[in-house]
Amino acid sequence: MSEKKKKDSNELLNFLMIIIGLLFIFKAVMEFLAWADIYAPPWAINDEVLSIFGGQATISILLGFWCLIAGIGLFREEEYALGMGLVVLSIMAASGIMTMISWVGGSFKAAYWPNYLIIIATIIGVIGFFWLLLTYKRYD
């Protein structure tokens, strides 16, 4: 009897990608509401919240959607999810790093909670990207 080797997905990274994907989608919805001049909570439509992950609403919703799809696909150890995950995580890392570089001039506000989401998304992007590179063989 041959035993099939059960693949073991990294559930923490998958959950984090799904959560970050939902946050990107939330951000995009808030940007669309603000753009359409439809009521949105004041904490959700000010300039700092709208620029939390950088880019426009269209880019945010696409990135959020693909991050969500990649996170779900990684649970199933799908090959397509590896490529999607690498792309999404690298974009998250790059945009977060560029945002943090812009903070060097003194625009970082420690009391403003969305800035910490940028830091978290960047860390997840960098670590997750390298984690997927190191564990790519599980998706063969």
Q: What do you get for the CA distance between the two ends of the chain, in Å?
A: 23
List per-block mean pLDDT (blocks of 10 residues) for the chain, which spans 140 residues.
Answer: 53 90 83 71 58 61 89 86 91 88 82 75 92 81
User: Residue 2 has what pLDDT?
Assistant: 46
Maximal C-alpha separation, the chain: 65
CA atoms within 13 A on the CB side of 44: 18
pTM of the full predicted structure? Answer: 0.76
Query: How many residues comprise the chain?
Result: 140
CA distance 56 to 54: 7
User: Residue 1 has what pLDDT?
Assistant: 44
User: Residue 72 has what pLDDT?
Assistant: 92
